[in-house]
């Protein structure tokens, strides 16, 4: 058996001998490899799903270019942030009869597809218009079984100029099945970490050739907190960290190592 075959076989064997540990599932949005599926299209909103979660976001679909002079054919407004860069929510400015007397806020509602509770560990959002003059706050109201989680929405400052991104850790957003975010200005959710109680699937280590004398080991960018270890045998005490920092290539974390004549086992550990 040549060194190449031995390296690949032992790396694959290590996944069976040393499965990744289980923990609560952390899902991080938004990355280029994440796919979103259209779920529904309403009169003033759309709903998409990705990675077990559902996003419903407001859209100003009744707006049209000649709205100032009377009813016309609705065209909707341009969205400046598209999946997978984020979720773009628009204020509601128009209806079937023209301009609305009172503008509706931009809103995003997040749920799990299975309806179970989850946590919002952190979020980042970009304001798509200027709020510096009047001031603004992202308003977040979580609910559980249809009941509001707090007497009043939680407020997160969103005062600034168009394009500014605000980032917040949110330890109080825990244990609810629905999270409603709103702002009186258009905004886009551009970063989000969600945690649910189900065990995370084990990280899968992929192995392939990089060149004639190198192997390529890779795993999903969404599998965070893992270290790549190697060992000459199956004894757990002999595994040590490779110390190689993975590079990001598309939706994968990638490590390239030289192939050797010695047997090597590889595993991912947390």
Using 50, 70 and 90 to split pLDDT, how confident is the model at 5?
very low
Helix, strand and coil content of the chain, in percent to the nearest 5, comes to 10, 45, 45
In the chain, residues under CATH classification 2.60.40 are: 3-23+200-269
Q: What is the mean pLDDT of the chain?
A: 86
The CA angle 122-250-10, to the nearest 5 degrees, is: 105
Q: pLDDT at position 147, please?
A: 97
Q: Which residue has the tokens 């991104």?
A: 165
Q: What is the DSSP letter of 13?
A: H
Q: According to the model, what pLDDT value does residue 16 have?
A: 36
Q: How confident is the model at residue 23 (pLDDT cuts 50, 70, 90)?
A: low
Second CATH level (architecture) for the domain 26-199: Sandwich (2.60)
Task: Report the DSSP beta bridge partners of residue 183.
Answer: 106
Domain with CATH 2.60.120 in the chain: 26-199
**What pLDDT digit, counting tens, does each position of 171-192 carry?**
999 999 999 999 999 999 999 9
Please say if the pLDDT value at position 119 is more than 80. Answer: yes
pLDDT of residue 169: 97
Q: 98 or 29: whose pLDDT is higher?
A: 29
Cα distance between residue 156 and residue 225, in whole Å: 28
pLDDT tens-digit series, residues 213-263: 888 888 887 777 788 888 888 888 888 988 888 888 877 888 988 877 778
pLDDT tier, 12 (very low <50, low <70, confident <90, very high otherwise): very low
Calculate ∠ Cα 21-23-24, nearest 5°.
Answer: 160
Say which CATH topology domain 3-23+200-269 has.
Immunoglobulin-like (2.60.40)
Exposed, middle or buried: residue 9 (CB in 10 Å: 0-12, 13-18, 19+)? middle
| Of residues 84, 155, 91, the one with CA closest to residue 127 | 91
Q: What is the pTM of this model?
A: 0.70
Q: In the chain, which residue ranges form alpha helices assigned H by DSSP? A: 3-17
Question: Across residues 76-104, what is the average pLDDT?
Answer: 93
Higher pLDDT, residue 258 or 52: 52
Q: Is the pLDDT of residue 150 over 90?
A: yes
34: nearest Cα among 208, 178, 194, 210: 194
């Amino acid at each position: 058996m040549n060194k190449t075959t031995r390296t690949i076989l032992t790396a694959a064997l290590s996944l069976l001998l040393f499965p990744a540990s289980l923990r609560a599932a952390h899902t991080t949005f938004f990355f280029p490899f994440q796919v979103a599926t259209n779920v529904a299209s309403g009169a003033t909103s759309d709903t998409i799903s990705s990675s077990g979660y559902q996003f419903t976001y407001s859209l100003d679909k009744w707006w049209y270019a000649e709205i100032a002079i009377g009813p016309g054919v609705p065209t909707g407004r341009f969205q400046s942030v598209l999946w997978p860069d984020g979720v773009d929510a628009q204020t509601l400015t128009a209806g079937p009869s023209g301009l609305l007397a009172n503008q509706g806020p931009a809103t995003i509602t997040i749920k799990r597809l299975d309806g179970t509770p989850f946590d919002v560990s952190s979020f980042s959002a970009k304001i798509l218009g200027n709020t510096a003059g009047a001031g603004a706050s992202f308003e977040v109201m979580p609910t559980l079984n249809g009941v509001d989680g707090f007497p009043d929405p939680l407020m997160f400052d969103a005062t600034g100029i168009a394009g500014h991104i605000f980032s917040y850790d949110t330890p109080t957003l825990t244990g609810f099945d629905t999270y409603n975010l709103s702002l009186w200005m258009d905004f886009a959710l551009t970063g989000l970490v969600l945690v649910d109680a189900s065990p995370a699937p084990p990280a899968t280590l992929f192995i392939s050739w990089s060149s004639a004398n190198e192997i390529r080991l890779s795993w999903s960018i969404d599998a965070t907190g893992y270290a790549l270890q190697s060992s000459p045998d199956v004894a757990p005490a002999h595994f040590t960290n490779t110390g190689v920092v993975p590079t990001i290539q598309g939706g994968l974390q990638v490590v390239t190592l030289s192939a050797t004549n010695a047997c090597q086992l590889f595993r991912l550990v947390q």
